[in-house]
Amino acid sequence: ERTFEIPELKMLLDAVSSARFISETKSKQLTKKIMSLAGIQQREQLKRHVRAIGKTKADNKGLYYIIDTITEAINQKKKISFQYTEYNGRKEKILRNDGEVYILSPYVLYWNEDYYYVLGYSDKRERVTAFRIDRMKTPTIMDDDAVPKPEDFDVSAYSNRVFQMFSGEETTVELECDTSLMKYVIDRFGLDVETEELSEDKFRVKVSVELSPTFYAWVFQFCGKICIINPQSAVDRFKNMIQMQI
């Protein structure tokens, strides 16, 4: 008997092929390794190529070394230093902030919305923040001990609050939603989200989020079926953003 069943191996193959943070070369290498876990006859069942439509693969070929370094730093409870990249108007990769060196106490590696992140305490920002792995230049493990992880730190709660890792002001907001959108609210905030049924057609939800353009864009996509009720400051900011686009 083998450790993995064919359906399990198929799921692993699909994940590797679809993951944007894994380069094309690494995807092919991992696919061959996963295929080798099956018997000779079963491999025929696995010979299929799964590729998510419209998804591009990462161009950072040093991704594995970055992940390995961060994992080692987490195990040693040490800080890491690294530079961060972005693109200019000519689609050239450049160093952010003129090559500024970032210092981070890494806590966990986290896969969110098709990208891979490291979450940790930023010395500069003085709070827990996130950096995309594929945008990092190979980090260095420092001699300095990492800042201890906050006792109340929860990865899932952080992800729900930050919305695709775009940070902003943390605020508790109340949303009035069309009943047909309950599935989207649960997808975003989880089953434990605090809700109140107002009628057969409406419900109210109270959530803690970081107010950012990404949060407002999430609300806007439902074309008025999700409305921000409180606080008024969030309502006003949303109205201003809409007016700017008119």
What would the pLDDT profile of 113-166 be if each residue is shown by its tens digit? 777 889 999 998 888 888 988 889 889 999 999 999 888 888 777 776 665 545
Q: What is the phi-psi region of residue 19: left when phi exceeds 0, alpha when psi lies from -120 to 50, beta otherwise? A: beta
- Could you report the per-residue pLDDT of 92-119, keeping only the tens digit for each? 778 988 899 999 999 999 887 777 889 9
Q: CA–CA separation, 183 vs 180, rounded Å?
A: 7
pTM above 0.85, yes or no: no
DSSP-derived 3-state class of residue 108: strand
DSSP-derived 3-state class of residue 198: coil
Question: Which DSSP string corresponds to 143-194?
Answer: EEEPPPPPTT--HHHHHHHHTTT---EEEEEEEEEEGGGHHHHHHHH-TT-E
